[in-house]
Amino acid sequence: MAQYIYGRNTVYSALLDGKVIRVFLAPSFRDGQTIDTIARRKITSEKRSVEELDKLVSHGVHQGIVAEVEDYRYVSLEELCHKAEAKKYPLLVMLDEINDPHNFGAILRSVDAFGADGVIIKKTGQVGLNATVAKVSTGAIDHVPVCQVVNLSQTLKELKKKGYWAVASDGSAKADYRSVDYKMAVVLVVGSEGEGVSHLVLENSDFIVKIPMVGHVNSLNASVATAVLLANIYNNRTPR
């Protein structure tokens, strides 16, 4: 089953990865690099009015270009772990009921930027890979493996048997996120801004940490919190 993605960066990334079936362009679209790539890869392109493009993507900000692509593929937990094993210190990110596609897309962008090995989400109660996630991720969706599982706490137990240490971020924590030495195989667990990490997942975590706040707000957007945590893990593991 095919779906539509949109926006210059998103479509260009998918073109480079060979995931595009055909492209729809507004008459005013003038991005030469993208047009040349479409021609070079011999992908069918069609002119459509701006109004038609608006309808295709439910009035998303398409910037004059929409592409039809195959559904995004999820990887198995085994595939994800096998890929991560190549690293000295594997790093997976587990998301507990992140329902906002903008948050999810931004998290994928941070996962790619800080070199994490993939993302684990639930099959239910969590936004999946879709056009909005793709647009916000600015191409990271094409490079970050995502695994869907039925039960997060059970998956956490399986990962711990494989040698992973579970680090959950939660506002109830007493430990500072900078107090952990991340030079080990880590699965970082991040929950939704409203509900946080579920009780069972917290019970199966080895470390529960929080990001200290000194301002007037007492919580961060889930994607911002993930970026802060991933940047700290990168800094902890990488000598300057």
Across residues 28-38, what is the average pLDDT?
Answer: 94
Domain segments of the chain as ranges: 2-70, 77-237
CA distances from 47 to 29, 158, 219 (A): 9, 50, 45
Q: Which CATH number fits domain 2-70: 3.40.1390.30, 3.30.750.24, 3.30.1330.30, 2.130.10.30?
A: 3.30.1330.30
Label residue 9 exposed, middle or buried (CB < 10 Å: 0-12, 13-18, 19+). middle
Instruction: Quickly list DSSP for the chain.
Output: -EEEEESHHHHHHHHHTT-EEEEEE-TT---HHHHHHHHHTT-EEEE--HHHHHHHTTT---TTEEEEEEPPPPBPHHHHHHHHTTSSS-EEEEEES---HHHHHHHHHHHHHTT--EEEEESSSS--S-HHHHHHHTTGGGTS-EEEES-HHHHHHHHHHTT-EEEEE-TT--EEGGGS---S-EEEEEEBTTTBS-HHHHHT-SEEEE----SS-S---HHHHHHHHHHHHHHHHS--
What is the pLDDT at residue 192? Answer: 85
Distances (CA, A) of 1 to 69, 179, 236: 9, 46, 42
What's the pLDDT band for 217 if we cut at 50, 70, 90? confident
Structure tokens that stand for 138 in this block: 């600015």
Give me the mean pLDDT over the 198-224 stretch.
Answer: 92
pLDDT digits (tens, 9 = 90+) for 174-205: 999 999 999 999 999 999 877 889 999 999 99
Q: What is this structure's pTM?
A: 0.85
CATH fold group of domain 77-237: Alpha/beta knot (3.40.1280)
Q: With cut-offs at 50, 70 and 90, classify the pLDDT of residue 1.
A: low
Token pair recorded at residue 6 = 């949109």
For 80-115, the DSSP string reads HHHHHTTSSS-EEEEEES---HHHHHHHHHHHHHTT
Q: What distances in angstroms separate CA 100 from CA 6, 25, 33, 70, one per listed residue? A: 18, 28, 31, 22
**Does this chain's domain 2-70 share its CATH topology with 77-237?**
no
